[in-house]
Amino acid sequence: MTENMKRIALSAAFLSLLTLGACSGEKGEVKLGVEQEKAMSERLAPAGEVSLVGEVASAPAAGNGGGSRSGSDVYSTSCKTCHDAGMAGAPKLGAPDQWAARIDKGMDTLYTSAISGFQGMPPKGLCMDCSDDELKAAVDYMIDGSQ
């Protein structure tokens, strides 16, 4: 008799534990669901932006059938930051006096400076996906506008 009572009491306790567990489990699941959804949309948003930026950035090259960007395109994307403002001693576009001595060095030297860097001038003007020809075109564009 006492054995039965114990069993009943135990199974009752077990049952209520199960029910409790199920309830809190359910609650936890719902809460997690909402949080996961939020986290997911937060994670998705930047991913969407990144792929959009990537598409836009690669669009000009792809649009030309993989051909090269024009000198003025490369200039406005990569060189302008420094060469429009004359930042860190960069010779300004449209300032012949700042270019004359450099032009005297010869175009090949200027191309090499643009491709490999020259003192404050970073290699490739930081346009890491620019080809040598694109960089040369950008130099031509700068020189054309600065003599």
The distance of closest approach from Cβ of residue 94 to ligand HEC in the complex, given in angstroms and rounded to an integer, is 14
* Residue 88 in contact with ligand HEC, rule: CB under 6 A: yes
Task: Provide CB contacts within 8 A for 126, sequence distance 6+.
Answer: 78
The distance of closest approach from Cβ of residue 29 to ligand HEC in the complex, given in angstroms and rounded to an integer, is 52
Query: Segment near ligand HEC (CB under 6 A), from 4-12, 32-40, 43-51, 77-85?
Result: 77-85
* Residue 113 in contact with ligand HEC, rule: CB under 6 A: yes
Instruction: Give the span between the Cα atoms of 147 and 142, in whole angstroms.
Output: 9
Tell me the number of residues near ligand HEC by CB under 6 A.
Answer: 29
The distance of closest approach from Cβ of residue 50 to ligand HEC in the complex, given in angstroms and rounded to an integer, is 23
Cβ(116)–Cβ(123) below 8 Å: yes
Cβ(127)–Cβ(69) below 8 Å: no
* Residue 90 in contact with ligand HEC, rule: CB under 6 A: yes
What is the identity of the amino acid at 111? Y
Give the other-Cβ count within 10 Å of 92's Cβ: 18
Instruction: Give the span between the Cα atoms of 104 and 114, in whole angstroms.
Output: 16
* Residues engaged in binding ligand HEC (CB under 6 A): 74, 78-79, 81-83, 87-91, 102, 105, 109-110, 113-114, 118-122, 125-127, 135, 138-139, 142
